[in-house]
Amino acid sequence: MSTHRVVITGMGVRTAAGDTPDAVWAALAQARSAAGPVRSFDVPGFPVDVACEIRDFDPGGYLTPKQAARADRSAQLAFCAAADAITDAGGLAAGPGRRAVVTGTAYGGEVTREQALLRHVDGVGRPRPMNQPMVMSNAGAALISMAYGIGGPSLTLSTACASGAHAVGEAAQLVRAGVADVVVAGGHDTPLTPTTMLAMYRLGALATGFADPAQSCRPFDAGRKGFVMGEGAAFVVLERLASAQARGARVYAEVAGYGRTSDAHHLTAPHPEGAGARSCMAAALTDAGVTAQEVVHVNAHGTGTELNDLVEARAITSLFGPGQVPVTAPKSVTGHTIGAAGAIEAVVAALSVAEGLAPPTANLTELDPRCEVDVVTGAPRKLPSGPVLSNSFAFGGHNASLLLAPVGVR
């Protein structure tokens, strides 16, 4: 069975580091962390004092007041990012039945869920009338599909921190297989609530205790203490290469390969030897028909937790060789946006392909000697034309790798 080549023709984001792909790229190029003091809630004595929050977000101009009131903050971010991606692509170049949307989220409507619990009486939450559709994970996909007449598949995936990457990869599969001609795909999450952040803190995952919040997220650094939670959304428009070329669309990159595996090991810890991560990356390369030597850059999951950094570095070294491929960890700038992370980093990887640059990793002052990887620091590094691999590894052992390439390289 023949398959269609799939390309990215539109991109949109909402992150603490910027609300356009260009703004996020500038923050990454300057290694300018978006981490700052927590302002979205005030709980005396709260042990977590840093996050990557989106300041002054206003969905006006995208959603009517009524629509916004019926959508959780996560779905609002998703809609705005998706709308920008669709505009960037020049619209959805297919009839309603040939359009699709795939979203990824770990938490769904977490802000709405927590607000209902906080307004409790005698231990019972006080949900608003629209509480149920607002907290459902598919709310973002529903909002996008209704606004843009998407009559084909409308799907939502939830694989924790790999959700956004899985959404982009599975969306590419829909186009490849001819199920849809154009797909809006991405991830979104707003996990910055007291309960969610306290839970992550008690799990030992969050960075605390840095005098300068901007220095808190330090992937692959010997002085790292964990990750910084963030919120955000990112979406891309995927379509067939032939269709994009026929209409003269700008193409950022081709989704040339996609890998997804499971560690089948532990609820929160990755496989100690990085077996699942390595096989996931290898699957993406095999899918694209390229060798490890052809990959010019790896966009790492890079959370800044000891286990993730060591295991991912081990997997990269096993596949590519020690220090053989430039590595970047964008979460040092954007924070860890959980279900949105893989989609945000797919946008970053596509920009790396388009710009021919690997952005630096912020806050890396002393590479952990156990991590035998070539982490880009200081300034962007010039890359030869070639494929870029973007990794997302999640709680539960869910792994996703996307291989993005310049059109014409394969």
192 touches 335 (CB < 8 A): no
Q: In 148-250, where does DSSP find H-type helix?
A: 163-176, 194-202, 241-246
Q: How many CB atoms lie within 10 A of CB 23?
A: 13
Q: Please, what's the b/e burial string for 183-218 (b: 16 or more CB within 10 A of its CB; e: otherwise)?
A: bbbbbbbbbbbbebbeebbeeebbbeebeebbbbbb
What is d(CA 44, CA 204) in angstroms, rounded to the nearest whole number? 20
Three-state DSSP class for residue 52: strand
Residue from 166, 188, 336, 398 carrying the catalytic annotation: 336
152-159-375 Cα angle (round to 5): 115
> Is residue 161 annotated as a catalytic residue, yes or no?
yes
What is d(CA 285, CA 256) in angstroms, rounded to the nearest whole number? 9
Which residues make beta-bridge pairs with 404?
Answer: 255, 388
Residues 6+ apart with CB under 8 A from 189: 74, 105, 106, 107, 110, 163, 231, 232, 233, 337, 338, 339, 340
Q: In 289-369, where does DSSP find H-type helix?
A: 306-320, 331-334, 341-355
**The two structure tokens encoding residue 6:** 């799939």
What is d(CA 345, CA 79) in angstroms, rounded to the nearest whole number? 18
Residue from 166, 188, 297, 301 carrying the catalytic annotation: 301
Which residues make beta-bridge pairs with 186?
Answer: 103, 235
Tokens 């792909």 map to which residue?
A: 21
Residue from 52, 161, 217, 371 carrying the catalytic annotation: 161
Catalytic residue IDs? 161, 301, 336
